[in-house]
Structure 1
Amino acid sequence: MELGATVCTPAAPKCGSCPLARECRARKEGRVDEIPAPKPRAARRDLVLVTARLVRAADGAVLLEQRPREGLWGGLWQPPAAECADGREVAPRAAGELLALPETVALRPTGEVPFQTTHRAVVFVVFEAGVRGAGAALARAGRRWVAPDELGDFALSNAAKRVLGR
């Protein structure tokens, strides 16, 4: 029996139905409202990510990159993104540098996309650009061009879907 999840809960312990009530130290000491102590909540960490919706003019394909296996949204695909220590005020040139984009990609700011996770408030500072030609220089390791009708084949977080406007 899982006593901690069903009987000895921090908010409302059910001592009358507990098979260990006679041996319970908390009950003997009159501390059932204190034990077990609630788990401390994880510290909330706000995060600002610069991201770019890059669309290839020839076929409407979108550039995606795969996130690292560990961490937030591990292994999922998203538009190119990077954490921004400078907050929300990012110039297009600085955004291009953060995202390791060539200077020939002219980014335009399009706004912010807020997203809430359990322990984080994430704000995506979104830029976009149309890319002429094949865009081969952009599709480096971990990045690839994806046709609009193939986006459903890629594991995207809900946050990435919002950034892409899907």
Structure 2
Amino acid sequence: MIIIIAAVAENSALGKNNTLLWHLPKDFKRFKEITSGHHIIMGRKTFESFPKPLPNRTHVIITRQKGYQAKGCIVVPDIKSAIAVCPKNEDLYIIGGGEIYTQSIGLSDKLDITLVHKSFDAEVFFPEIDLEIWELTSEIFNSKDEKHLYDYTFQTFIRKK
């Protein structure tokens, strides 16, 4: 199954200056639990925003840069090549950024979204989730607290048949 996983603001904002716009420890924990042991597909800028590769995951990096290398990672030129290098019988996760989400939403089976209940000034945005195509199957609301500045909801969407 091809799964997009993303934290998205109410105005579809994802990030600015190659960084996230919020810090939600429970979302990071959920991301780690869901993606550990799997192939994760991302654009080069997303990969470069990490201090180091994420442990216990196979990184597939999409870039148009010729000769780009990242130790221990698979580098490919496009989304179709990224999907092709992943095992066919396992879940794979698309983790960003905005351009990669836009290219892959039409190829995906499931969306794991953390909806951050605020709008942000951003330069990268998530594509529209068309409810004619996607069915919301699960929602878990989380209130802001001392470690989370914003309310947020874990949402799962499945592609309608």
Q: Work out which of the two has the higher radius of gyration on C-alpha atoms and give 1 or 2.
A: 1
- TM-score, structure 2 length as denominator? 0.25
Greater RCO (Cα-Cα under 8 Å, separation 6 or more): 2
